[in-house]
Amino acid sequence: HVLTFEMSLIHAIPQTLFGIFFEDINHAVDGGLYAELIRNGSFEHIFSLEGWALELCEESIEVSVDTSNPIHPNNKNYVRVRSDDPNAEIVLINLGYTASPIRGGIPIKAGEAYNLSFFVRTVGFTGEVSVYLENRRGEKYAESLVRISEQIDDWMRISLELVPKVTFSNSHFVMRIKGQGELHLDMISLIPKNTWHNMRTDLINVLKDLKPGFFRFPGGCLVEGDSLSNAYRWKDTIGPIEERKPNRNLWGYHQSYGIGFYEYLLLAEYLGAEPVPIFNAGISCQVRGAEYCPVDELDEWIQDVLDFLEFANGPTDTYWGSIRAQLGHPETFNVKYIGIGNENWGDQYHERFKLFHTAIKEKYPEVKIVFSGPPSYEGSNFRYAMRWAKENDVEIFDEHIYASPEWLLANTERYDRYDRTGPRIMLGEYAAHAPGRQNNWQAALAEAAFLTGVVRNSDVVIMASYAPLFNRIGFSQWVPDLIWFDSASFFLTPSYFVQKLYADHTGDYLIPSEITNEDLVLIGYRYKAIYHVCTYNSKSNEITVFLVNPWPDDKSVKIQLPENIRTRKEINLIRLCGSLTDINNFDDYAIVPVHEKIISNSCGSFDFIAKGYSFNVLKIGLE
Ligand code: AHR
């Protein structure tokens, strides 16, 4: 094979091209990025004592979940302990997110500080509450005691610090209550001191390493709800945690909203990514039998979006702008993109989209509005949606592609055929689903090949993100995923490294390139022998050649340099390579980037071997 390229610029590559899609699926937030270690400390889960074990030490003590006088109407449940005997004891034990005896529980580190807090109220109670972390054998790691002798009429927050002496991955949190009278407890929380806005720093760092150009949130199907009653409403998710209105999400578990819209905006800002919040279009999940908000009642949903834009972008003398300032961010977030709907389609969606569009553009003409594509990226629903989008001057169309590796390899030219006068594309969700939906090298290699077509067509495709992002082992609803984690550690999948190599090395311009290629026809699909794309980075004066060999045999490629250029002698190669079934794991990475140097003769050409099953990034510095 001979690969040639030219030093002319075809089009600029958008800074937004590679991003992150964030959804609370697979416990990405609760039990995940949200660093809260107590599961269901608010007792708001459908099973109000989920996550808790109770040990009643005496019969004269009663425990119930009460709702009669909560901290806030959004946070209805609390625990009521009643005892007639001053020596009676009850023990509340929280197991954290325990998936198995090995993975789960509450991880603690020796010498690190943990903020413990809870709300308490009493009715004639005198006694004590002792709090500690312990292992299965009942050995204590950190302990503190609160004595209560005076009446606490109104809910009062008690805050303490626990500093364990040992490191232990699977501890339990214990609250031992002894005394007489009535004690009410709520919002029991244990969060490591070393977090960023209550988020796990290890997980934030791996997101930062992806250098995301955009950050789409908070879903996904999550936004839609299985009915409109549990659709995602951003106003439920801001303010003091005890006043947020938790919700059971469409993925079947409880969201505390400890990370809500404000934190998402902070995170996008920290990551240097354009926020792309997605709002419900007044339609619940269509795949699960849609509930449509009647058009004449849609104002409330539209107003939510307008209020959000005031919250994110409005001056501090507006109502919502002042709330942003009170939360600690007087500067605007400068949100440039929002999406209306997720995986919606059909006339009912179009009618509602138009109403949102008109109202938003009237007040915020500069904000770009993303239109949702249907779940299937092929077929009549897709064609109808695209036709409507074109006829109605939709700015950005959100496509989701979950396909077999074979499909992705055979469709790298999908965007070559796109009508340049139509909407830009946000490939808001993509992933290869290999047999068994394994996060293996076969899937990642096909994604690497497909992304050559995305980069080549980045005049049309302006955003692309893998989905889903996170998987908490033992608490997942969907595989494959980009990053897997447990209570204390994580591992990165081959797909993560593919996306990171693109994010790190795609230049700011596409340049023309060609390869003498053979087309292979196998089991009905047409493939290429080698997939490639070339970009130029004007800041570092470098050409990047992305080359994918998805076949078992090594392929020799002569890289023919343009006549008028001289390159640096050393060419940097970053390669991902393995067998198709290779996967990464907590302590064993089969697929990791390997760095090599190739010596070229600075002009003319040089030979390169693209190993079997490899993704290669060649960085050619120009003199
Ligand atoms: O990424 C998982 C789900 O896939 C998303 O919630 C949804 O948009 C798609 O169907």
Residue nearest to atom 7 of ligand 1 (CA): 220
For residues 269 and 414, membership in a common domain is answered with yes
For ligand 1, atom 2, the nearest C-alpha belongs to 468
Q: Which residues pair with 584 in a beta bridge?
A: 589
Whether 514 is covered by a domain: the verdict is: yes
Q: Cα of 348 to ligand 1 centre, how many Å?
A: 21
Residues 287 and 213 placed together within one structural domain of the fold:
yes
Nearest-angstrom CA–CA distance, 119 and 158: 6
CA nearest 200: which of 286, 155, 267, 296? Answer: 267
* Cα distance between residue 447 and residue 467, in whole Å: 12
DSSP per-residue letters across 373-437:
PPS-SSSHHHHHHHHHHHHTT-SEEEEEEEE-HHHHHHTTTGGGGS-TTS-EEEEEEEEE--GGG
Give the count of domains, the chain: 3
Q: Kindly state whether residue 183 falls inside one of the protein's structural domains.
A: yes
Question: 201: which 2 tokens?
Answer: 């720093």
Q: Which of 472, 505, 538 is the last residue of a domain?
A: 505
Q: Name which residue sits closest to atom 6 of ligand 1, judged by CA.
A: 220
Q: Which residues contact 64 (CB under 8 A, 6 or more apart)?
A: 79, 80, 82
**Ligand 1, atom 8: closest residue by C-alpha:** 220
How does pLDDT run across 96-150, given as a tens digit for each residue?
Answer: 998 765 566 899 999 999 999 999 999 999 999 999 999 878 889 899 999 999 9
Integer Cα distance of 173 and 96 in angstroms: 8
116 shares its domain with 245: no
Predicted local distance difference test score (pLDDT) of residue 530? 96
Same domain membership, residue 339 and residue 228: yes
Report the run of H or E that residue 369 belongs to, with start and end. Answer: strand 368-372
**Do 513 and 616 have their domain in common?**
yes
Residue 287 alpha carbon, nearest atom of ligand 1: 10
Instruction: Tell me what pLDDT residue 518 has.
Output: 78
In a domain, 300, yes or no: no
Q: Report the distance separating Cα 2 and Cα 557, nearest Å.
A: 6
| Domain range for 469 | 20-33+196-293+309-351+366-505
More confident residue, 64 or 524: 64
Cα distances (angstroms) measured from residue 469 to each of 82, 186, 337: 44, 32, 20
Q: Which residue type, as a one-letter code, is found at position 410?
A: A
Mark which of 449, 478, 505 sits at the end of a domain: 505
Q: SS3 of 143, please?
A: strand
Ligand 1 binding site (Cβ under 6 Å of any ligand atom): 23, 25, 219-221, 342-343, 375, 400, 429, 467-468, 478
Looking at the structure, tell me whether residues 485 and 608 fall in a common domain: no
* ipTM for this model: 0.99
**Together in a domain, 67 and 209:** no
> Where do we find the tokens 């640096």?
568
* Residue 105 alpha carbon to ligand 1 centre in Å: 28
In a domain, 201, yes or no: yes
Confidence of residue 263 (pLDDT cuts 50, 70, 90): very high
pLDDT higher than threshold 80 for residue 56 = no
User: Is there a contact between 481 and 429 (Cβ–Cβ < 8 Å)?
Assistant: no
Contacts of 74 (CB under 8 A, 6+ apart): 236, 243, 244, 245, 246
Atom number, ligand 1, closest to the C-alpha of residue 23: 6
Q: Express each pLDDT in 391-411 by its tens digit.
A: 999 999 999 999 999 999 999
Which is the closest atom of ligand 1 to the Cα of 250? 6
Amino acid at residue number 599: I
> Does 73 lie in the same domain as 25?
no
Give dist(CA 239, CA 371) in Å, integer. 29
Give residue 271 CA to ligand 1 midpoint distance, Å: 23
CA distance 598 to 618: 9
Residues 243 and 107 in one domain: no
Residue 442 within a domain: yes
Q: Does residue 597 form part of some domain? A: yes
In a domain, 611, yes or no: yes
CATH number of the domain enclosing 446:
3.20.20.80
Of 454, 484, 505, the position where a domain reaches its end is 505
CA of 342 relative to ligand 1 center, distance in Å: 9
Ligand 1 probe mutation, 24, 25, 429, most atoms within 8 A of CB: 429
pLDDT at residue number 101: 59
Digit-coded pLDDT (tens) for 285-303: 999 999 999 999 999 999 9
Given a cut of 80, whether residue 521 has pLDDT beyond it is no
- Contact call for residues 175 and 92 (beta carbons, < 8 A): yes
Does residue 468 have a cis peptide bond before it, meaning omega lies within 30 degrees of 0?
yes
Give the residue whose CA is nearest to atom 9 of ligand 1.
220
Between 313 and 599, the higher pLDDT residue: 313
**Same domain (yes/no): 183, 251:** no
Q: Among 29, 370, 478, which is best to mutate for testing ligand 1, by the most ligand atoms less than 8 A from CB?
A: 478
Report which protein residue has its CA nearest ligand 1's atom 4. Answer: 220
- What is the Å distance from ligand 1's center to 218 Cα? 11
pLDDT recorded at residue 100: 66
**Could you give the residue numbers annotated as active site?**
343
CA distance 577 to 616: 8
**156: three-class secondary structure by DSSP:** strand
Does 301 fall in a domain?
Answer: no
What's the CA-to-centroid distance between 411 and ligand 1, angstroms? 21
Instruction: Assign 604 a pLDDT band (cuts: 50, 70, 90).
Output: confident
CATH number at residue 593: 2.60.40.1180
Q: From ligand 1's centre to the CA of 354, what distance in Å?
A: 23
Ligand 1 centroid vs 220 CA: distance in angstroms?
5
CB 506 within 8 Å of CB 498 = no
CA distance 488 to 504: 27
| H-helix or E-strand spanning residue 304 | helix 299-313
pLDDT of residue 103: 63
For residue 517, is pLDDT > 90?
no
Ligand 1 atom 5, closest CA: 220
The more confidently predicted of residues 604 and 229 is 229
Ligand 1 closest atom vs CA 428 = 8
Indicate if 153 and 259 belong to the same structural domain.
no
| 352-365 burial code (b ≥16 CB/10 A, e <16) | bbebbbebbeeebe
Ligand 1 centroid–CA 455 distance in Å is 23
Q: How far does the centroid of ligand 1 lie from the alpha carbon of residue 225, in Å?
A: 12
Taking residues 231-243, what's their average pLDDT? Answer: 98
- How do 614-621 and 542-549 pair as beta strands? antiparallel
Q: Please state, in angstroms and rounded to a whole number, the distance separating the CA atoms of residues 596 and 618.
A: 10
| Percentage of the residues of the chain whose pLDDT score is greater than 90 | 91
Pairing of strands 89-94, 168-192: antiparallel
H/E element holding 608?
Answer: strand 605-610
Phi, psi angles (nearest 5°) of residue 86: -60, -20
Assign 371 to helix, strand or coil: strand
For 387, 425, 431, 584, the CA distances from 382, given in Å and listed in that order, are: 9, 13, 18, 35
Q: What whole-number distance in Å separates Cα of residue 356 and Cα of residue 364? A: 12
- Over pLDDT 70: what percentage of the chain? 99
Tell me the mean pLDDT in the region 356-370.
Answer: 98
How high is the pLDDT of residue 462?
A: 98
**pLDDT for residue 10 is more than 70:** yes
Residues 533 and 588 in one domain: yes
Q: Please, which residues have CB within 8 angstroms of residue 378's CB and are 6 or more apart in sequence?
A: none
Provide the mean pLDDT of the chain: 95
Q: How far is it, in rounded angstroms, from Cα 456 to Cα 451?
A: 8
